Amino acid sequence: MAWRGWAQRGWGCGQAWAASVDGRSCEELTVALAPQRLLGHRFNFFIQQKCGFRKAPRKVEPRRSDTGTSGEAYRRSALIPPVEETVFYPSPYPIRSLIKPLFFTVGFTGCAFGSAAIWQYESLKSRVQSYFDGIKADWLDSIRPQKEGDFRKEINKWWNNLSDGQRTVTGIIAANVLVFCLWRVPSLQRTMIRYFTSNPASKVLCSPMLLSTFSHFSLFHMAANMYVLWSFSSSIVNILGQEQFMALYLSAGVISNFVSYVGKVATGRYGPSLGASGAIMTVLAAVCTKIPEGRLAIIFLPMFTFTAGNALKAIIAMDTAGMILGWKFFDHAAHLGGALFGIWYVTYGHELIWKNREPLVKIWHEIRTNGPKKGGGSK
């Protein structure tokens, strides 16, 4: 009886506590404290408290920017991950926050094209040796008994049937799929938001400019981007070559993110961005500029075709309107920056950057031929 009386008194206290919070019942409080459903998934950065004698978790309110745009505006897009507990505080000196990204963009672009030039040199040097190795391998295969149903042989056959462009972008697609899977790990959510989404109001500014290029939160977003990249891979690699394409793609991801930073700082509309759309827009714009009379079609409407030149004009017009009108579903500044960079590179950049790589290649050739000088010893 004593225990029963204690339990009844405890239950009465619980009822009194529930009724004293804004005059709402436990059921009403449970609904009020339920995390918002975003994108069809629940991402809880705290353990949801059950109705009882525990205190409700304190809600973190995002700080509004000067223009009145809060983080909720960016949660409406299915392409951006939820940032319930991540609060971005715009810098009191926004122009200063662009200095480090600017130097990172220039330095990374130079390193990318310099590395691509050295890569091309090494590739050309090894082709002769690979040619003789291939002849030897073919001769050994002719005298060696063939295995039936060899899985490795089937994989090699599939790989050899791909074009140079398709083989080049396979690694890029694999990296995007890996990062997409990492987004599904709850314990990595904070790390992914910190390093794989780009935002000029974040504490980490430079590395996300590259990592966010390989980051997709929505499966549809990733599938659409990778399909476009796969479709244009053969054309762009035939125009530029494997090494130059990789330098262009990686540089385009960083440059488009820098343009996005500038747009966000100029408008005060801070928020996270991610995806390979900026880099893919560079590829698309480069191909459309180089082959303006090529015929393109929409994935779901293959019966309607149009020229590549008209498609590029429509894309630039849409992204320009999106920047002016403040549309938030896509990062239109990144799209526009990537498209303009692609047009500039195939028109002027190839002559200014890639065709002036000879001094660097000569220096590398001297290093590879002579090797480091060894001191000491007699001749």
CATH number of residue 237's parent domain: 1.20.1540.10
Identify whether 60 is part of a domain: no
Identify whether 18 is part of a domain: no
Two structure tokens written together for 185: 């790990």
- Does position 248 have pLDDT exceeding 90, yes or no? yes
Q: Kindly indicate the confidence band of residue 325, based on its pLDDT and cuts at 50, 70 and 90.
A: confident
Cβ atoms within 10 Å of 125's Cβ, excluding its own: 11
Please give the pLDDT value at position 30. 39
Is residue 115 among the annotated active site residues? Answer: no
Identify whether 114 is part of a domain: yes
Please give the pLDDT value at position 53. 39
Where is pLDDT greater, at 315 or 296? Answer: 315
Q: Kindly indicate the confidence band of residue 334, based on its pLDDT and cuts at 50, 70 and 90.
A: very high
Q: Determine the Cα–Cα distance for residues 208 and 195; give it in Å rounded to an integer.
A: 5
Please give the pLDDT value at position 3. 43
Q: Determine the Cα–Cα distance for residues 329 and 318; give it in Å rounded to an integer.
A: 12
Q: Determine the Cα–Cα distance for residues 197 and 209; give it in Å rounded to an integer.
A: 8
Residue 216 and residue 180 in contact, taking contact as beta carbons nearer than 8 Å: yes
- Does position 76 have pLDDT exceeding 60, yes or no? no
Q: Kindly indicate the confidence band of residue 371, based on its pLDDT and cuts at 50, 70 and 90.
A: low
Catalytic residue, chosen from 41, 335, 350, 365, is 335
Average pLDDT over residues 109-127: 91
Helices 242-267 & 99-143 angle (0-180, nearest 10): 160
Q: Return mean pLDDT, the chain.
A: 76
Is residue 335 among the annotated active site residues? Answer: yes
Identify whether 238 is part of a domain: yes
Integer Rg of the chain from CA: 28
Identify whether 54 is part of a domain: no
Please give the pLDDT value at position 80. 64
Identify whether 364 is part of a domain: yes
Please give the pLDDT value at position 127. 77
The pLDDT tens digits for 3-37 are 444 444 444 444 443 334 444 444 443 333 344 43
Average pLDDT over residues 341-354: 93
Please give the pLDDT value at position 164. 86
Residue 296 and residue 101 in contact, taking contact as beta carbons nearer than 8 Å: no
Residue 6 and residue 14 in contact, taking contact as beta carbons nearer than 8 Å: no
Domain count for the chain: 1
The pLDDT tens digits for 184-229 are 999 999 999 999 999 998 889 999 999 999 999 889 999 999 999 9
The pLDDT tens digits for 85-106 are 444 555 566 788 899 999 999 9
- Does position 292 have pLDDT exceeding 80, yes or no? yes
Q: Determine the Cα–Cα distance for residues 218 and 174; give it in Å rounded to an integer.
A: 16
Identify whether 141 is part of a domain: no
Residue 294 belongs to domain spanning: 96-135+177-370
Catalytic residue, chosen from 216, 235, 277, 332, is 277
- Does position 66 have pLDDT exceeding 80, yes or no? no
In percent, the amount of the chain with pLDDT more than 90 equals 40
Identify whether 347 is part of a domain: yes
Q: Determine the Cα–Cα distance for residues 9 and 100; give it in Å rounded to an integer.
A: 62
